[in-house]
Amino acid sequence: MNTAEAKRVLETALICANAPLPLGEMKALFDGEVGADTLRRVLDELVNDWEGRGVELVALASGWRFQSRPELRPFLDRLHPEKPPKYSRAAMETLAIVAYRQPVTRGDIEDIRGVTVSSQIVKQLEDRGWIDAIGYREAPGCPSLYATTKQFLDDLGLASLDQLPPIDGAESDARSADALAALNLAPDLLADEGQGSLLLEAEAAAPVALTPPEPESQTDIAPEEDAPPAAVEAAAPTSNDKPA
């Protein structure tokens, strides 16, 4: 198969795909006739071909996809006037702490924010597919360790955590939430001040400065499936409510 034909097939598959397409699935399109180097070269050509148009080809955490350019979003939103679900400042700050400090426990988040973290907030972020428990810390109670997911990066339009907006170590967790708000994710999802769907107990407490984390020792993390029963017994009860 020549490069022009491979390019045509790959472009069609990317346009028709309902989710980001990883390189492994792209290779399956050609049954081994096209190698990884050729695929990457064809992808680069497609990126250039669509330059300056309303749709762009981007690499995300879970693969490649075509998507509309951010500057056209106000026009496209008119086709779908319904409002997306919104999350409170507390939820966005919790998400930001997980994103910038992962892996973290609920206790870590509470130490940073200086207030109790509602189990409802954690559950809503899990249900949205933005955070997940990746294991347990070998400490009393075996608390769950949380990290962000590929879905979180895909929704932000990022390929890796390295592309998150940099923040100064002296800035607060509120500023890291604002950094997320600067990306595609937030203005629609971040609730206005006073929005009370996810209020914390002690919301008025002053935030603690967010500082870069010290590297976690791999020996401190136990695989989630091997976690002792105490980890389940120590888990906080969660609500069955899900975001709209």
- Residue 187 is assigned to a structural domain of this protein: yes
- Residue 128 belongs to some domain of the structure: yes
Question: Which domain range does residue 21 map to?
Answer: 3-77
Where is the domain boundary, 46, 77, 108?
A: 77
Q: Tell me, yes or no, whether 119 lies in a domain.
A: yes
- The SS3 of residue 38 is helix
Beta strands in the chain (DSSP E): 55-60, 63-68, 131-137, 144-148, 221-223
Asked if residue 106 and residue 67 are part of one domain, the reply reads: no
Whether 71 and 95 map to the same domain: the answer is no
Same domain, 62 and 107: no
Q: Could you tell me the CATH number of the domain that includes residue 45?
A: 1.10.10.10
The helix/strand count (H/E) of the chain reads as 11, 5
Note the pLDDT tens digit of each residue in 178-214: 656 555 454 444 433 333 333 233 333 333 333 344 4
Give residue for tokens 């939820």.
91
1 vs 19, higher pLDDT:
19
Q: What is the 3-state secondary structure (H, E, C) of 50-92?
A: CCCCCEEEEEECCEEEEEECHHHHHHHHHHCCCCCCCECHHHH
Cα separation, 210 vs 226, in Å, equals 31
The answer to whether 176 and 98 have CB atoms below 8 angstroms apart is no
Determine the average pLDDT of the residues in 92-108: 92
User: Which of the listed residues 52, 77, 102 is the one where a domain comes to its end?
Assistant: 77
Burial classification of residue 187, based on how many CB atoms lie within 10 Å of its CB (0-12 exposed, 13-18 middle, 19 or more buried): exposed
Please count the other Cβ atoms lying within 10 Å of the Cβ belonging to residue 209.
Answer: 12
Q: Are residues 165 and 56 in the same domain?
A: no
Residues 51, 171 within the same domain = no
Alpha carbon distance 27, 33 (integer Å): 8
Q: What confidence score (pLDDT) does residue 200 get?
A: 31
The answer to whether the pTM exceeds 0.75 is no
Q: How many domains does the chain have?
A: 2
Task: Say if CB 86 and CB 187 are below 8 A apart.
Answer: no
Q: Are residues 98 and 61 in the same domain?
A: no
Statement to judge: residues 107 and 219 lie in one domain: yes
Of 213, 235, 231, 215, the residue nearest 223 (C-alpha): 231
Q: What is the pLDDT of residues 56-65, one digit of tens each?
A: 999 999 999 9
Distance of CA 35 to the CA centre of its chain: 30
Domain check: are 119 and 215 in the same one? yes
Q: Looking at 11, 43, 77, which one is the last position of a domain?
A: 77
Task: Read off the pLDDT band of 132 (50, 70, 90).
Answer: very high
Q: Are residues 112 and 216 in the same domain?
A: yes
Would you say residue 225 lies in a domain? yes
